[in-house]
Structure 1
Amino acid sequence: MSTTEGDLLHTVETGSISRSRRFWGHAALWLSALWLIASFILQASQDLGWTGFGFDNWRPVLYAYFIWAFVLCVTRVVIYGESGKKALFVLPAALFVVSMVVFPLLFALWVGFSNWNLASLTGRQFNGLDNLRQMIADPFYANALLNMVYYCLAIAIEYAIAFGLALLLNQEIVARKFWRVTFLVPLMLSPVAISWMVGKSMLEPRFGPIARFARWLGWENPSFFGDPLTARLSIMIMDAWTFIPFMMIMLLAGLQALPREVLEAAEVDGATKWQRFWQVIFPLMLPVSVTAVMIRIIFKLKLADIIITVTSGGPGGATDSVTSFIYREYRDRSNVGYGTLLALVYLVIIVIGMTGLMKISDRIVRRMTGRL
């Protein structure tokens, strides 16, 4: 018996793999890849109208991708031996991400540059840059983008309120645990439920309690969603009431994690409460604050449920967010192609904007914390 046969820990290295084994491994990989490319080109050319033959749908292309992914995993071991086995720890997850993220994104691009109205009998038709031109000339989409700027700027006020509540609940006040749970209640409710309880009931202009209180104060015809400015502010308040507890609990956790030695040293040095907050607490809380604000911006960019339930974007698109506008483009107009292009453009704006904000915030945090 040879030493390799008796060694249970023997591994197959790349140098010990025969040429014929590598050849058949590469051949199987290239054949599966060629079949995937050929099936994709065949189906794409049929959908574009370049050829009159192809598959009934894109399902054969999906099957070809699964076959290629399986062959890719197997041939890693066939061609590279032990190092190929190491790749199997990551490769299936990467292929799954490609199938669940990259493919839908490519399909969205395919749909975004086509005229596809579900109410039409002609089906989907490639229209080039027509949807992009329509988007540039669409005043309602531009208005929705501008509204998103207003909604995101309101996060500064939400952050100030959340920080104040976190500072309050971090003190030794009476019934502190009760107040912490009470302030978290809005976060536990669904935004749709809040829309009905507050927007549809309490703010109802005829019989709502808040409307009655406004009339008692002298507002003759209180209409919280009839005026564009008032409607936008009402949406901001309802959304803020829902998500301020989220930032509050993150900031409270950051306050409780602050080193007590630093705070006590500042107090011993004679710093006032304002000096301790502005020169010690606030700089130390910047990493947590930036994280809370960034996550809040992400939630704000997806704002739609409250708007759809309460105002449906009205009056005249004054409260529309980009997400609610795209939703109505799908639901009311059944314009899948144009709505998909709007969503893709919004995705690009979010990626670029969030990347820029993260870089700017990182510089600010480094500059502020470097002074301590």
Structure 2
Amino acid sequence: MTGEGDLLHVVTSDEITPARRALGKTLIWGSFGVMVAAFLILGLAETGRIAMEVQNWRPALYAYLFWATCLCIAQVVLYGEKGKRTLFILPATLFVVAMVIFPLIFALGIAFSDWNLSSPDGRKFNGLDNIRQMWGDPFYWNALKNMVYYTLAILVEYAIAFGLALILASQIKARKFFRVAFLMPLMLSPVAVSWMVGKSMMEIRFGPLARLARWLGWDRPSFFGDPEMARAMIMMMDAWTYIPFMMIMLLAGLQAIPKDVQEAARVDGASGWRGFWEVTFPLMLPVSITAILIRIIFKLKLADIIINVTSGGPGGATDSVTSFIFREYRDRSNVGYGTLLAIVYLVLIVVAITVFMKLVDRWMNPKY
């Protein structure tokens, strides 16, 4: 028999009458109809299909809040005590929908429109014109190509971070000091790094690195005049900022490896380089994949250093997609075209990360 204490965890089913069930369905579908009607009227007014002046989309927000409230009330009306349990997660779900889905739909509307903030005509629907402009935009494709270079540089950053983590995991003198010292670049913002290194130390007239280059025989040092060198300098500054992040993750993974596993490997003759490849590196794969994936996400947002140091120059050679989109908004006030570029970039990121995770899963879990 069930004890009295267990009754606290039993949800009794309320008796739902037909009238109560009809009231709940009316609340849901009635409020949903009001919301759809509000969105439809505002959309038709926005596109000029009906003669109605629309100041903003605030009525649509009110209609959504009305539907969300009725939906929550209807859960209790339709399901009684079980419906109250739904209220623990339903408001949060509706909030996420409001903060993610609706802005994305609004962004899609902007992406297929001609909206330049410097134009007095306002926003106008232009169909696929922005896609055609993107397809023929060499600067955008150049920015995408640069992102491939920037992302591939993560492999070098990973190798450096792994080497530093191995050094800090060993029994060296002043190990704690070096751990703090190596983490200092991560404590600085990319904006500070761009001004401290790119704008000050690499300044072609009075910067200490420029003076050192002249002392070594480089007559006219220009770190950002040549496209290839400028891109390399951007990579170096970004790497200097974020290598400590990968290093600290890999160091934590190295310290989590059981000592008895390493000792058993040394007893079996797997010491030095062989022990690293056959024992340490395979055990570190999950941490390594996580560190690389997070670093890729950070790299795909690269913009701060580029905007402050080169503004994408020379001739767009250092542009990332994010910095290019930023300049479309700031310099050209081209909201419609910039939004389309951002959405396309988002789709490319989702596809690339999904493919990357699939390949990693196949590599780490092969099916025979």
Instruction: Return the TM-score normalized by structure 1.
Output: 0.95
Deviation at 1:37, TM superposition (A): 0.2
Match in the other structure for 1:140: 139
Match in the other structure for 2:120: 121
Deviation at 1:55, TM superposition (A): 3.8
Match in the other structure for 1:69: 68
Deviation at 1:12, TM superposition (A): 5.3
Q: Is the 8 A contact 1:42 1:54 kept in 2?
A: no
- Is 1:48–2:47 an aligned residue pair? yes
CA–CA distance in 2 between the matches of 1:363 and 1:221? Answer: 51
CA–CA distance in 1 between the matches of 2:12 and 2:53? Answer: 43
CA–CA distance in 2 between the matches of 1:246 and 1:100? Answer: 30
Deviation at 1:76, TM superposition (A): 0.5
Match in the other structure for 1:324: 323
Cα distance change, pair 12–32 in 1 and its aligned pair in 2 (3 A): farther
Task: Give the counterpart letter for 2:341 in structure 1.
Answer: L
Identity of aligned pairs, percent? 66
- Is 1:106–2:105 an aligned residue pair? yes
Deviation at 1:83, TM superposition (A): 2.0
Deviation at 1:283, TM superposition (A): 0.4
Match in the other structure for 1:13: 13
Task: List gaps (5 residues or longer) in structure 1.
Answer: 1-6
Task: Give the counterpart letter for 1:339 in structure 2.
Answer: G
1:328-339 pair list within 5 angstroms: 328-339=327-338
Match in the other structure for 2:364: 365
Deviation at 1:25, TM superposition (A): 1.2
Deviation at 1:9, TM superposition (A): 8.9
Q: Is the 8 A contact 2:46 2:54 kept in 1?
A: no
What CA deviation, in whole Å up to 9, does each residue of 1:18-69 have, x standing for no partner? 1101111111211110000001010111111111126432100000000100
Match in the other structure for 2:224: 225
- Tell me how many residue pairs correspond in the alignment: 361
- Is 1:183–2:182 an aligned residue pair? yes
Match in the other structure for 2:95: 96
Misfit runs of 4+, over 6 Å? 7-10
CA–CA distance in 1 between the matches of 2:9 and 2:261? Answer: 55
CA–CA distance in 2 between the matches of 1:95 and 1:206? Answer: 57
Match in the other structure for 1:293: 292
Match in the other structure for 1:308: 307
Match in the other structure for 2:241: 242
CA–CA distance in 2 between the matches of 1:353 and 1:255? Answer: 28
CA RMSD between the two structures: 1.5
> SS of 1:154's equivalent?
helix
Match in the other structure for 2:159: 160
- Is 1:196–2:195 an aligned residue pair? yes
Q: Is the 8 A contact 2:11 2:82 kept in 1?
A: no
Instruction: Return the TM-score normalized by structure 2.
Output: 0.96
Task: List gaps (5 residues or longer) in structure 2.
Answer: 1-6
Match in the other structure for 1:4: none
Range 22-31 or range 294-303, more displaced: 22-31
Task: Give the counterpart letter for 1:72 in structure 2.
Answer: L
What CA deviation, in whole Å up to 9, does each residue of 1:203-235 have, x standing for no partner? 011111111111111111110000000000000
CA–CA distance in 2 between the matches of 1:323 and 1:195? Answer: 16
Deviation at 1:10, TM superposition (A): 8.6
Match in the other structure for 1:345: 344
Q: Is the 8 A contact 2:270 2:278 kept in 1?
A: no
> SS of 2:225's equivalent?
coil
Deviation at 1:87, TM superposition (A): 1.2
